[in-house]
């Protein structure tokens, strides 16, 4: 795409008005040399003289298409709607780019945009049906969600084979999956007899006719939620100590042992969760040190830490807001009762995915439990409060003492962590086993008939909880693996993640087509 001025009214990349510095003779010579091209401006009366000049030796520009709507959160941001075209002028701020709107309601306006809300124009990422990093399970959930009709579809990266694509289609109330295979020359096909040079052509073809698919492709799957932006705005990514006056607390969401949690509004524009810490519960310096690491841990299954207020008391921790609160409450309430076994396993798989990321980063959670997992729309779960326990523990050792009556999460904690203060990713695995128990019992207290003291006494001698009622045996086996006495024999989160995700693949019944899987 060329770098050239665009008409302010029609936004077509056609015109450069006479520059004042250019004399008529200069212009004539430039036209003769074919350095510039004279174009009639359809909106000439608004923009200047009747002809305009377009430089031919032009730089490449970055034109992007918006994948989601975005409403400006600060005066320096630019609002846009899905489908708008934007020219990116400066990418140096990292996750937030400085851009100019080329189409839409705010055409020609400039401001910061979240980089993960846009994709290069004409790229596959810009296609409304391309859901790149969507797992098979998530694809099914998205397609089965309200608003999608028979034939709704999406194309995603194949989980099992890197570089390959899969097509997921809604056929009445079931979702069918096809691998998009490639010929030796790189053409894509569902049926070998009909290869296509591009995925776009393949989609166009199957939108016209079924041609062997279970259903003709209809509308692209609806995108339910825009992704989280990285940070609240371009300037909180680095300067994330924010002024507490920019936060308005709206309503209390709950309380933990270290403080209260509120729904809040940042800059009068953006919904956030605000954790307020009881004065004295931690040293701001320790917290800030830990928080520096925490804010770098970004993953779709981890709650994002947006900003902090550590100047003055109480300390505020600003995170993304999750509409359905903690997983524990969610499991215990009506919602939990409505959960099917597939939802329960999916919940566990999501937690394992977030934890597998922490495992990869050599980061230990230390307080993994259903109360520290939060639930958003459509059963989306994210792990919260990672690393916070360490900060509390450093400053407030007594709080985590393994005594009856204290709030030490004894029932979630591995024996070696209780007895020798040995917290590792393997003690997190132990806690994950307990969390799995919570999920399978809809939020029942672990070791329901035992006190903390009894748990501390009996678990090191080999006592383990029995299989909960109605819990599939394979899931109980996973729990039991997490509770191996020798921590080295416990699985990794990576293994847990694929085991739980594969659960769904196992019971898919119909494979009536070579490409369907
Ligand atoms: P503790 O901190 O003692 O382990 P906890 O994790 O339940 O207990 P908090 O993290 O303070 O305590 O959270 C209290 C409650 O606030 C949660 O149970 C949940 O309902 C709500 N909550 C916390 N964070 C969020 C969030 N980001 N979005 C929505 N609700 C939240």
- 283 within ligand 1 shell (Cβ under 6 A): no
248-303 residue pLDDT tens: 999 999 998 778 999 999 999 999 999 998 887 777 777 777 788 888 888 999 99
Say yes or no: 338 and 433 in one domain.
yes
> Among 125, 141, 171, which residue terminates a domain?
125
Could you say which of 77, 84, 138, 367 is catalytic?
367
Choosing from 188, 208, 228, the residue where a domain stops is 208
Q: Among 16, 31, 55, where does a domain finish?
A: 55
Which token pair is 49? 């003289």
Is residue 513 over pLDDT 80? no
Q: Are 49 and 74 in a shared domain?
A: no
The residue whose CA is least distant from atom 27 of ligand 1 is 321
Ligand 1 contact, 249 CB (< 6 A): no
CA distance 62 to 2: 9
Is 225 inside a domain boundary?
Answer: no
Structural domain contains residue 515: no
Q: Which residues of 401-414 are buried (b: 16+ CB within 10 A; e: fewer)?
A: ebeeeeebbbbbbb
179: domain CATH number is 3.30.505.10
What pTM does this model have? 0.77
Whether residue 461 sits in one domain with residue 376: yes
- The per-residue pLDDT for 28 is 58
Asked if residue 44 and residue 69 are part of one domain, the reply reads: no
**Domains in the chain, number:** 5
Considering the domain architecture, whether residues 333 and 482 belong to the same structural domain is answered as yes
Going by alpha carbons, the residue nearest to atom 22 of ligand 1 is 325
Confidence category of residue 506, pLDDT binned at 50, 70, 90:
very low
Question: Measured from the CB, is residue 254 less than 6 Å from ligand 1?
Answer: yes
CA of 146 to the centre of ligand 1 (A): 29
Mean pLDDT of the chain: 82
- The reply to whether 198 falls in a domain is yes
**102 with 202, same domain?**
no
Evaluate: CB of 372 within 6 angstroms of ligand 1: yes
Q: Is residue 223 part of a domain?
A: no
The two three-digit tokens of residue 15, written as one number: 């015109």
Q: What is the distance between the alpha carbons of residues 428 and 413, in angstroms, rounded to a whole number?
A: 8
The answer to the question of residue 17 being in a domain is: yes
Decide: 143 and 215 in contact? Cβ < 8 Å.
no
Q: Is residue 71 part of a domain?
A: yes
- Pick the range with the lowest mean pLDDT from 132-146, 312-326, 388-402, 464-478: 388-402
Tokens encoding 343: 């939802």
Q: Tell me: do 346 and 488 sit in the same domain.
A: yes
Q: Which atom of ligand 1 is nearest to the CA of 259?
A: 11
Q: Are residues 349 and 481 in the same domain?
A: yes
CA distance 151 to 143: 9
Is 271 part of a structural domain of the chain? yes
Domain span at 432: 327-504
Same domain, 310 and 350: no
Whether 304 lines ligand 1, by a CB cut-off of 6 Å, is no
For 172-208, what is each residue's pLDDT tens digit?
889 999 988 888 888 888 888 888 988 999 999 999 9
50 and 69, same structural domain?
no
Residue among 421, 433, 439, 517 at smallest CA distance from 481: 433
Q: Say what the pLDDT of residue 365 is.
A: 93
- Domain co-membership, 145 together with 289: no
Q: Are residues 119 and 131 in the same domain?
A: no
Closest residue CA from atom 4 of ligand 1:
256
């Amino acid at each position: 795409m060329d770098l050239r001025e665009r008409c302010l009214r029609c936004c077509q990349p056609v015109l450069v008005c006479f520059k004042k510095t250019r004399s008529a003779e200069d212009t004539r010579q430039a036209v003769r040399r074919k350095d510039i091209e004279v174009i009639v401006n359809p909106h000439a009366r608004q923009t200047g003289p009747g002809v305009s000049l377009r430089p031919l030796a032009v730089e490449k520009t970055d034109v992007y298409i918006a994948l989601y709507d975005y409403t400006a959160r600060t005066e320096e941001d630019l609002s846009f709607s899905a489908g708008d075209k934007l020219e990116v002028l400066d990418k140096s701020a990292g996750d937030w780019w400085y851009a100019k709107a080329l189409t839409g309601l705010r055409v020609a306006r400039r401001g910061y945009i979240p980089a993960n809300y846009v994709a290069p124009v004409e790229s596959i990422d810009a296609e409304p049906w391309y859901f790149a990093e969507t797992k098979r399970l998530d694809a099914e959930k998205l397609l089965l969600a309200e608003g999608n009709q028979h034939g709704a579809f999406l194309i995603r990266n194949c989980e099992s084979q890197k570089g390959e694509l899969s097509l997921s289609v809604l056929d009445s109330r079931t979702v069918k999956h096809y691998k998009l295979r490639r010929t030796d020359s790189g053409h894509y096909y569902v049926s070998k007899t009909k290869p296509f040079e591009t995925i776009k052509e393949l989609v166009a073809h199957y939108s016209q006719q079924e041609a062997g698919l279970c259903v003709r492709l209809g509308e692209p799957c609806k995108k339910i939620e825009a992704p989280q932006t990285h940070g609240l705005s371009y300037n909180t990514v680095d300067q994330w100590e924010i002024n507490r006056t920019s936060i308005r607390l709206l309503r209390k969401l709950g309380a933990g042992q270290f403080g209260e949690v509120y729904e809040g509004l940042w800059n009068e524009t953006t919904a956030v969760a605000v954790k307020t810490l009881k004065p004295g519960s931690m040293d701001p310096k320790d917290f800030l040190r830990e928080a520096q690491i925490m804010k770098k841990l970004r993953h779709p299954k981890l709650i994002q830490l947006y900003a902090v207020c550590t100047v003055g008391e109480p300390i505020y921790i600003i995170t993304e807001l999750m509409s359905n609160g903690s997983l524990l409450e969610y499991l215990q309430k009506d919602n939990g009762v409505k959960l099917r076994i597939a939802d329960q396993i999916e919940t566990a798989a999501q937690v394992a995915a977030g934890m597998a990321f922490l495992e990869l980063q050599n980061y230990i959670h230390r307080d993994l439990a259903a109360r520290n997992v939060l639930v958003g729309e459509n059963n989306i779960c994210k792990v919260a409060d990672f690393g916070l326990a360490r900060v509390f523990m450093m400053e407030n050792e007594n709080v985590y003492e393994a005594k009856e009556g204290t709030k030490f999460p004894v029932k979630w904690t591995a024996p070696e962590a209780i007895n020798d203060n040995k917290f590792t990713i393997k003690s997190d695995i132990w806690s994950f086993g307990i969390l799995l128990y919570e999920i399978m019992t809809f939020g029942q207290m672990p070791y329901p008939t035992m006190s903390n003291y009894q748990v501390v006494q009996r678990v090191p001698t080999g006592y383990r909880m029995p299989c909960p009622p109605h819990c599939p045996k394979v899931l109980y086996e996973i729990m039991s693996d997490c509770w191996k006495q020798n921590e080295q024999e416990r699985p990794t989160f990576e293994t847990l993640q694929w085991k739980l995700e594969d659960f769904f693949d196992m019971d898919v019944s119909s494979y009536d087509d070579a490409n369907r899987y």
